[in-house]
Amino acid sequence: MFTQLSDAKINFYRENGFVQIDNVLTESEVEELKQYVEEVMASSGDKVVKNGDKNYARVLNQRVNTWRDHAGMCKFAFHLRLADLARQLTGAQGIRFFHDHSLWKDPLDSAPTPWHQDLPKWPMVESGALSIWIALEDVDENNGCMMFIPKSHRIKDIKNISLTGQDNIFEYVQGTEFSEDRAVCVPLKAGSCTFHDGLTFHYAHANKTEQPRKSYAIIYFPDGTRFDGKQHVTTKDFDLQKGQPLVTCLTPRLI
Ligand SMILES: O=C(O)CCC(=O)C(=O)O
C-alpha cells in the first residue's frame, strides 16, 4: 500500500529542500486524476482569479481547493500513500492537509513562474510545510518543468514575492551561495513528482508548446504547526486566533 522511501531520497530532501520521486501514480491513476482535473478546470469553482490580471493568467491558470468542487479529487487530495511520503520526508509525527490546486500553464503567450518561496504566502508560524507537485503530462524546459535552488530552504524572512511583480528573489541573497546558476532543473514523466519545502526557491519554465501543461499540487504541513494570523483562502472562514494550532475541519490530519 505505502511506498517506503530510501534513506538516500529522505536525506536528499532534508539536505536540499526538494526531491524527485518517480512513478508516484500508476498510469491508470494519472488518467483518472487528469480526467477529474480537466472537469474541475471546465467548471466554475473556487478559481484563483486575480481580478482579470492578464500577467497572472500568463503565469498560471489555477484552481485552488479542487476537492471542494469535485468529489473525485478527494481521492487524490487525501491520498494516504502521497501523504505518507510527506511524513517520511519531513519526519513529522503527523501530516495535515492544507490545500490543493490544479496548476496549468496555458499554451502560447505563457510566462515562467518566477523564483519564489511558498511559505511567505501561507499562514504558518513554523516552517516545515511542503508541496507535492505531480506532472500529469511529461514536462521539460519547453512546457514548464520546475527548477529548484538546493539548500535554499534554510533561508527565512524574505518577503512574499509576487508571481507577477518585478521583485527578484536573488537580490535578497546577494553575496551568498544561493545564485540562479545553481538551479537544478527537474524534467518529469507523467505520474512522477517533486516534493519541495515551503521555503525552497523554485521556478517553472514558460510553456512554449501548443498544449496546456497540466500539473496538480497538494500542500501538507506537520501537525502542530501554528496559525500566524495571515489571510489565506483556506483559513478565511475560521475564527482562528494567532498562535493557535492550525486545526480546522478543512485541514484534516491525514496520517
Ligand atoms: O506550477 C508552477 O508553475 C509553479 C508551481 C509552484 O510554484 C508550486 O507548486 O509551489
C-alpha to C-alpha distances, 232 to 121, 204, 238, nearest whole angstrom: 8, 23, 10
Residue 153 included in any domain: yes
User: Is 52's pLDDT higher than 80?
Assistant: no
The CATH code of the domain that includes 51 is 2.60.120.620
Domain that includes residue 132, residue range: 7-222
Of all residues in the chain, the percent with pLDDT exceeding 90 is: 89
Considering the chain, what is the average pLDDT of its residues? 95
Average pLDDT for residues 139-160, to the nearest whole number?
97
Q: Does residue 243 lie within any of the structural domains?
A: no
- In a domain, residue 91? The reply is yes
Atom of ligand 1 nearest to the CA of 103: 1
pLDDT tens figures, 214-226: 999 999 999 999 9
Return the best residue to mutate from 18, 41, 133, 218 for the ligand 1 pocket (most ligand atoms within 8 A of CB). Answer: 133
How do strand 213-222 and strand 184-186 relate by DSSP bridges? unpaired
Report how far residue 173's alpha carbon sits from residue 164's, in angstroms, rounded to the nearest whole number: 20
- The reply to whether 244 falls in a domain is no
* Atom number, ligand 1, closest to the C-alpha of residue 60: 3
State in Å: Cα 244 to ligand 1 middle. Answer: 28
181 domain-assigned: yes
Q: What are phi and psi of 89, to 5 degrees?
A: -70, -45
Confidence bin at 236 (pLDDT 50/70/90): confident
Write out the three cell numbers for 227: 496559525
Does residue 144 lie within any of the structural domains?
yes
48: pLDDT confidence band, cut at 50, 70 and 90? Answer: low
Q: Which atom of ligand 1 is nearest to the CA of 217?
A: 9
pLDDT of 51 higher than 70 = no
**Atom 10 of ligand 1 has which residue's CA nearest to it?**
118
Q: What is the pLDDT of residue 1?
A: 82
Q: How many residues does the chain have?
A: 255
The rounded distance, in Å, linking the Cα atoms of 181 and 194 is 20
pLDDT reading at 45 higher than 70:
no
In a domain, 253, yes or no: no
Ligand 1 site: residues with CB under 6 angstroms?
60, 103, 105, 113, 118, 131, 133, 144, 202, 204, 215, 217
Q: For residue 141, tell me if it sits in a domain.
A: yes
Domain total of the chain: 1
